[in-house]
Amino acid sequence: MNGDMPTGFASWLAHERSCDAGIDWLDARRRNAAERVREQGVPSSRDEGWRYTNLKGLLEQGFLQPDEPITALQPDDLEEVLVPGLASHRVILVNGRFVPELSLLEDLPPGVRVSGLASLLASDPDVLKDRLNAVAGDDLALFAALNTAGLDDGVVALVDRGVLLERPIELIHVSVGLDEPRVAQPRNVIVLGAGAQAIVIERYLSLGDSLYCTNCVTEVSLGRDAVLKHDRIQTESPSAFHISGLYLRQDANSRYLGVNLGLGARWARTDLNATFGGEHAECDLQGLYLAGDGQLMDYHLDVDHSVPNCASRENFKGILYGKGRAVFDGRVFVAQDAQKTDAAMSNRNLMLSESAEVDTKPQLEINADDVKCSHGTTVGQIEPEMLFYLRSRGISAPLARRMLCLGFAGEIIERLSAEALRDQVSELVGQRLESAPLS
Amino acid sequence: MLSVKGLRANVGDKEILRGLDFEVGPGEVHAIMGPNGSGKSTFAHVLSGREGYEVTAGSVTFEGKDLLALEPEERAQLGLFLAFQYPVELPGVNNTYFLKAALNSIRKARGEEELDAVSFLRLIKERLKILHLDDSLLKRAVNAGFSGGEKKRNEIFQMALLEPKLAILDETDSGLDIDALRVVADGVNALRSAERSMIVVTHYQRLLDYIQPDHVHVLSKGRIIRSGGKELALELEEKGYGWIDAEGQAA
Amino acid sequence: MTSTQAVDDIVRSEYEHGFATEIASDTLPPGLDEDVVRAISARKGEPEFMTEARLKAYRHWLTMTEPQWPAVHYPKIDFQAISYFSAPKRPEDAPKSLDEIDPLLIETYNKLGIPIEEQKALAGIAVDAVFDSVSVATTFRATLAEAGVIFCSISEALHDYPELVKQHIGSVVPHTDNYYAALNAAVFSDGTFVYIPKGVRCPMELSTYFRINARNTGQFERTLIVAEAGSYVSYLEGCTAPQRDENQLHAAVVELIAMEDAEIKYSTVQNWYPGDAQGKGGIYNFVTKRGDCRGARSKISWTQVETGSAITWKYPSCLLRGDDSVGEFYSVAVTKGRQQADTGTKMIHIGKNTSSTIVSKGISAGEGRQTYRGLVRIGQRAAGARNHTQCDSLLIGDRCTANTFPYIEVKHPSAKMEHEATTSKISDDQLFYCRSRGLTEEDAVSMIVNGFCKEVFNELPMEFAVEAQKLLSISLEGAVG
């Protein structure tokens, strides 16, 4: 299976053979994924999805995927990792591996199953046969293919039909600095049965400022009438590379409310893909990114309206300062039969510095006539009238700017599922802005 | 308290204020009236430190300080308050947060202690009543999606909270129906005191039926051309601004 | 004397310098190589620099690959099967009468109220005489000469003002720009040259409509407009009547140059033959149009009404180099039947305080496929740049497609950029309201569509706007139901 892997990614898949699970269907999917990596090679700026995103910095690092789990996180370190006041069913992954002794899964109600992917593959692989890779599919994009080919662990959360889970499931992915730069490729599978309701919080963070790469893929499948609130918060180390793929599939009448926050990492690429399997489903994708000095925040949304009567909202906001860069590439596709589609995409950017840069590309592809589709983009700076108004009330200029930025960000932050999370994120954003050169 | 001497100011190449003299003592309420384009709003903006105006001559002292040398927030911290003609919408900026930040920055500048959350909330609820405002307002973003009347009431509410020494009401009556006008005027009257001065800038006499001024000034072509008591406002209403202009030209 | 020659004679005799190009009586065999390029240049008696420029472009073209556009579908073009220099068809090859023409086309002519002789000319039938426009054009020329305005064919300009042409041609769209621009630079047949001297306001709208003799130049047309400091010109291209052409591939290049305080307004009504109901025989319209706002406070405004062609691929663009310069793009594009259009604009903000406006209205009916593709780039030094983009699609019928692909690249924080796009259909409520006031469904649709396009029509010169509205109504007849 080795051989002609694209240079730069070969080391990601050194692991490919060693974790051969001996499960036929899984091995077949991984072989296919490896093949997809070979086929695609390393994309260049000529590839539409990589027009504004340079992979050079990532490839230069020579990231390795470790064979053995390295989970050097002490219970004492947990303090730093948890959100004060957030009560959750907690799953902790360290460097891509599930750590049961730090996780907190005792109180799960009946009908809810949360476990490590590797252990589930060992104990009950059949549960995953129709679920793992089911949403992402065989036609995998490069990094999803790498994740699948190099798959070793992650989290599986299954909520049975009709179950209303009150407390959120919190998935905390911690990266701990290692001697050599490593890549972690966790794979998460979230499945809600018909009528089930749940909150899932995914957080990616690190202790310290070390260099590493996270290439995570989360697959979400919502049954008929299911409701999922899904917060995904990335506060990786300032030296880190973060690649994240979300694959979402919704059955009829289901609702998905997703909030994506990109606050850390030096280079972050997020691909969000949503498809509908039944009518009257709603998909709400909200996002906020902060791109400061030397940071790249790169978002790609692909919402596929292939059935009628579904609604989607794509609302992303960014704040850029220093030499920060952001890319927003959103696509809403409406198939010929998808009448009564209601889609609205918006990308708004606030630029605070001379050398920040934003490239935005909100696209609509519409093949049905009875639809309501719109998109809007703005790039601008803080309005002088707003600043003056605040100053005329006695507020200093730097604080006024920060308040306006927080106000801008607040619309997204307030969508987060838990108060404790909103408070923590607001504070973090405030801190980031405080240290940012705002002129 | 406020002393304006020979104030001249430009917007771009155009001179708007042409040698304005104006004095306000403690507790006094002054009305400045004048036709459109006479420089009323420019005057209010220059006092509060808005950008886009160039002062070419004259001086403004407030509480013994050179007002023109101060940043807008320093003026506010000193006790100056401008009620905007067009209050600015701040989408996403929570009203409570905004008010607390403003109040505490002013208190800090005065050497007072910052208010904690509990006493702050008590204070704003008390002040809300003066303006007959609902406390749902506190959860909303500043002025965003407010009706015209709500915006103006919110301005006066801010004034009640920030307790300025000198308040400038820039065409606070514009766009208000009579009921809203009454509410706003009641709020303003409730805030009158021996330590608080006000400058009421307006085009119409009717606001002065509700807010009785001690002095009325007529501004024309960037200068105060006539001053008098509140009867001057009535005379103006009757004869129109043309009368003053004609007189001004004759003089 | 053949009737074609008769036309040529009239043309020659009426224009002092010959409005028409020197038309050779033969046609070069299909195919393209350096000899063909040389032969084109030689036949037109061009100066040496032009021949060299053509060859350079040809050599560069050879190194390029034909672009593939994901949103546009058509069979592969065989560039060696095209004849790159052809005299007008001999009468025996041309259609003999209107009976041989697609009856739908004739119907449209009749609806537009086009006289029978004009219909024949438009349909490519050999005619005995050219109608009124020739003499009208002559009168115009005198007025223009008085103002110092040069308005002539590009071949003519190469003879009479070679230095002017040399200075400007290819300076906005270099031959290296894209595949079709390179091809055009190598083999361009003819086109228009306009020069407005310093401080001159061109006394009339300039229109190619009056240059009917430029037949067969449609294929690889080249237009160059230079507006010197403080001048103004409004230029109208095309006409509302559907034009037939035996050449399927059209690859024109238009270059506009506006110096300090100059303004160029360029309006296009493009109504080339879209092909029959199955899309057969329609024109491929692959055009490169670009304006260079070279001087401070200059302004270039593109307005287009695109209803014709089987495939349209064009992005009239503005390079906003001068400080405070202004770029505008107003577009109505209609695709119906099996038409495909991939059109939009590029606004490249380079100078300070530059501003641009984009208003694009796309109407897609039947199995029409339409794509708006636009780029707004705000460069590192473009302080205070402003852009507003409004991009709306109207869909009629459930088999059509409307895509919107805006690219927005901002590298300066003081930029203010707004982009809005909507896609909608004509609502039943709107239709019902109109009909309950006594309008037929067709009139109601036409009224709603014209309302949808109003912002763009307002930018067209008056008489053009009226024709464009009529054209739009006719284009969409039968599209609803």
Identify which of A127, A153, A133 has the alpha carbon closest to the alpha carbon of residue A30. A133
Mean pLDDT throughout C174-196?
89
Positions in chain A short of pLDDT 50: 1-3, 18
Mean pLDDT throughout C442-469?
79
Chains B and C physically touch (3 or more Cβ atom pairs below 8 Å): no
pLDDT attached to residue A71: 62
pLDDT attached to residue A155: 97
Mean pLDDT throughout C145-152?
88
Identify which of B247, B218, B211, B220 has the alpha carbon closest to the alpha carbon of residue B232. B218
Chain A positions touching C424 (Cβ under 8 A) are: 371-372
For C308-335, what is each residue's pLDDT tens digit? Answer: 888 888 899 999 999 999 999 999 998 8
Question: At how many degrees (to 10) do helices C103-112 and C462-475 cross?
Answer: 140
What confidence tier does C111 reach under pLDDT thresholds 50, 70, 90? low
pLDDT attached to residue A291: 95
C462 membership: H or E segment, kind and range: helix C462-475
Dihedral over alpha carbons A375, A380, A386, A391 (to 10 degrees): 150
8-state DSSP, C133: H
**Annotated domain spans of chain A:** 10-278
Asked if B75 reaches chain A (Cβ–Cβ under 8 Å), the answer is yes
Q: How far apart are CA C158 and CA C165, in angstroms?
A: 6
pLDDT attached to residue A67: 73
For C376-388, what is each residue's pLDDT tens digit? Answer: 999 989 999 999 9
A365 membership: H or E segment, kind and range: strand A357-366
Q: How far apart are CA C294 and CA C320, in angstroms?
A: 7
Identify which of C248, C254, C259 has the alpha carbon closest to the alpha carbon of residue C235. C254
Q: How far apart are CA B96 and CA C176, in angstroms?
A: 60
pLDDT attached to residue C97: 64
What confidence tier does B49 reach under pLDDT thresholds 50, 70, 90? confident
Q: How far apart are CA C351 and CA B159, in angstroms?
A: 44
**Annotated domain spans of chain C:** 121-125+132-428
Residue B249 pLDDT > 70: no
What's the CATH code, domain B2-250?
A: 3.40.50.300
Q: How far apart are CA C437 and CA C444, in angstroms?
A: 10
pLDDT attached to residue B135: 83
Asked if B76 reaches chain A (Cβ–Cβ under 8 Å), the answer is yes
Mean pLDDT throughout B234-239?
81
Cβ proximity of B8 and B19 under 8 Å: yes
Give the closest of A354, A364, A370 to C413, CB-based: A354
pLDDT attached to residue C208: 59
Chain A positions touching C336 (Cβ under 8 A) are: none
- The mean pLDDT value of chain C amounts to 78
Alpha-carbon Rg for chain A in angstroms: 21
Collapsing DSSP to helix, strand or coil, C272 comes out as strand
CA of C255: how far to CAs of B42, C225, C290, in Å? 47, 6, 5
Identify which of A176, A281, A299 has the alpha carbon closest to the alpha carbon of residue A227. A281
Chain C positions touching A385 (Cβ under 8 A) are: none
Cβ proximity of C468 and C460 under 8 Å: yes
Judged by phi (left if over 0) then psi (alpha if -120 to 50, else beta), residue B241 lies in: alpha
Give the closest of A359, A364, A367 to C409, CB-based: A359
pLDDT attached to residue C9: 39
Residue C115 pLDDT > 70: no
User: Averaging pLDDT over each range in A119-123, C20-24, C438-442, which range is the top one?
Assistant: A119-123
pLDDT attached to residue B243: 72
| Token code pair at residue B24 | 């306000």
In chain A, which residues touch B (CB < 8 A)?
Answer: 383-386, 388-397, 399-400, 403-404, 406-411
For C232-285, what is each residue's pLDDT tens digit? Answer: 999 988 765 556 555 677 888 999 999 999 999 999 888 877 777 666 777 888
CA of B107: how far to CAs of B27, B110, C126, in Å? 21, 5, 90
In chain A, which residues touch C (CB < 8 A)?
Answer: 52, 320, 336, 339, 349, 351-381
Return the residue matching tokens 């050449």: C247
Residue C13 pLDDT > 60: no
Mean pLDDT throughout C409-427?
85
Dihedral of CA A376/A379/A385/A386: which sign? positive
pLDDT attached to residue A45: 84
What percent of chain C stands above pLDDT 70?
73
Residue C113 pLDDT > 70: no
Quick check: A379 and C393 CB within 8 A?
A: no
What is the distance in angstroms between the Cα of A380 and the nearest Cα belonging to chain C?
5
What confidence tier does C122 reach under pLDDT thresholds 50, 70, 90? low
Q: Is the pTM of this model over 0.90?
A: no
pLDDT attached to residue C214: 38
Q: How far apart are CA A377 and CA C390, in angstroms?
A: 11
What is the distance in angstroms between the Cα of A409 and the nearest Cα belonging to chain B?
8
Chain A positions touching B98 (Cβ under 8 A) are: 390, 393, 403
Quick check: A363 and C404 CB within 8 A?
A: yes
3-state SS of A33-78? HHHHHHHHCCCCCCCHHHCCCCCHHHHCCCCECCCCCCCCCCHHHH
Residue C467 pLDDT > 80: no
| Token code pair at residue C411 | 């590298």
Chain A positions touching B158 (Cβ under 8 A) are: 393
8-state DSSP, C201: B
Asked if B146 reaches chain A (Cβ–Cβ under 8 Å), the answer is no
Residue C133 pLDDT > 60: no
What percent of chain C stands above pLDDT 90?
30
DSSP sequence for chain B: -EEEEEEEEEETTEEEEEEEEEEE-TT-EEEEE--TTSSHHHHHHHHHT-TT-EEEEEEEEETTEEGGGS-HHHHHHHTEEEE-SSPPPEEEEEHHHHHHHHHHHHHHHTTPPPPPHHHHHHHHHHHHHHTT--GGGGGSEETTT--HHHHHHHHHHHHHHH--SEEEEESTTTT--HHHHHHHHHHHHHT-BTTBEEEEEES-SHHHHHS--SEEEEEETTEEEEEE-THHHHHHHHH-HHHHHHHHHH-
